[in-house]
Amino acid sequence: MAKDTDKVKFCTSIGGQALMEGILMRGVDREAIVVRKPDGELERKVEPLKAIRLKYPILGWPFIRGTVNFIESMVHGVRALTYSAGFLPDEEVEEPSKLDKWIEKHLGGEKAEKFLTGFSVFLGLVLAVGLFFLLPTVIAGLFSGFVTSRVLRNLIEGVIRIVIFLAYIILASRMKEIKRVWMYHGAEHKTIFCYEKGKELTVENARGQSRLHPRCGTSFLFIVMIVSILVTSVVSWSNVWIRLVLRIALLPVIMGISYELIKYAGRHDNVLTKILSAPGKALQLVTTAEPDDSMLEVAIESLKLVLPDEAGTDKW
């Protein structure tokens, strides 16, 4: 009897990120960026992947690796976005600011790039923590005068956090440039599904796959929102300033638990994992879009460049 090739044969640890007219794919030992240039040609960049957990094994332990992987993904993602933006038509590229020019002049090319990447990651983390964690805590504190239950106040804070997160995603999706990024995001998911099902990596095969993937970063972020409600309900405080400090201190715990949950959901197919994956997949209806064939070509090329030399070593 012929095997059912429409089912996922195994889950890969290979993951990607949509860029400006391109895709970043991260494999076991290397990462690849493929960008569609204005003239239609593909620009390829492949680099070895040096995970910090290889140097410090403790950073790869469960409940620790979640935060480490998230920060590493941010660093590599910012670099890849900067690289892909360099191929945009001149009229779409913003003039460097005075700060950018000063940094370039005093630090030089490579040092300036590392500094700007680090600063961008730091700024992104600060904005994310401030917008999605500290701001909801401050707003929820306004209810402290007539909501005495800590559990209820934490629940209100969690709802506010989710509302802000959803509003941010929806508003971002209205931007023209972001809509194309969402399409590349869909191409990335379809291509990975095609690979996981053991099908030949062709545009035709990838086109028929789902654009909603259970191990997507969007799903991870949504799980973070849910886990934060549970964790902060256990560890809370009446004073708003102490609560703000606790929110920051508990972030590694929240991200560590969230990563293990999405890892479990990616490895198993049961009622629990379907429940865990459902909110993230629903949100992917916004953060992904149906790609065109040229985008699928980019995704397929980037995936091929990071496929492991030994089959199966990329198992999730």
Closest CA to 262 of 277, 278, 279, 284: 277
What lies within 8 Å, CB to CB, of 11 at 6+ separation is 196, 215, 266, 267, 315, 316
Looking at residue 113, its pLDDT comes to 67
Tell me the pLDDT band of 282, cut-offs 50, 70 and 90: very high
- Collapse the DSSP code of 290 into the 3-class scheme (helix H, G, I; strand E, B; otherwise coil) and give the result: coil
Task: Please give the pLDDT value at position 1.
Answer: 33
Please state, in angstroms and rounded to a whole number, the distance separating the CA atoms of residues 63 and 74.
18
Stretch 25-47: mean pLDDT: 95
What is the rounded (10 degree) CA torsion for 182, 72, 277, 249? -120
The rounded percent of the chain whose pLDDT value lies above 90 is 50
Tell me the C-alpha distance between 216 and 242, whole Å: 33
Q: Which residue spans within the chain are E strands per DSSP?
A: 15-19, 22-26, 30-36, 42-48
Q: Which helix (H) or strand (E) holds 205?
A: helix 203-207
DSSP 15-44: EEEEETTEEEEE-SSEEEEEEE-TTSPEEE
Give me the chain's average pLDDT, please: 87
Task: Say if residues 135 and 244 touch (Cβ distance below 8 Å).
Answer: no
Ramachandran quadrant class, 40 (left: phi over 0; alpha: psi -120 to 50; beta: rest): left
Rounded distance between C-alpha atoms, residue 9 and residue 14, angstroms: 15
CA atoms within 13 A on the CB side of 297: 11
| The predicted structure's pLDDT at residue 182 | 95
Cα 75 to Cα 32, 86, 171, distances in angstroms: 14, 17, 24
- What pLDDT digit, counting tens, does each position of 8-18 carry? 778 899 999 99
User: Which of the residue ranges 67-76, 83-92, 109-118, 299-308 would you say has the lowest mean pLDDT?
Assistant: 109-118
Q: Is a pLDDT exceeding 80 seen at residue 93?
A: no
- Quick one: pLDDT at residue 4? 42
pTM reported for the whole predicted model: 0.85
For residue 273, give Cα distances in angstroms to 15, 221, 227, 263, 278: 19, 16, 15, 10, 8
Domain parsing of the chain, residue ranges: 15-304
- From 69-83, 140-154, 168-182, 241-255, the region with the lowest mean pLDDT: 140-154
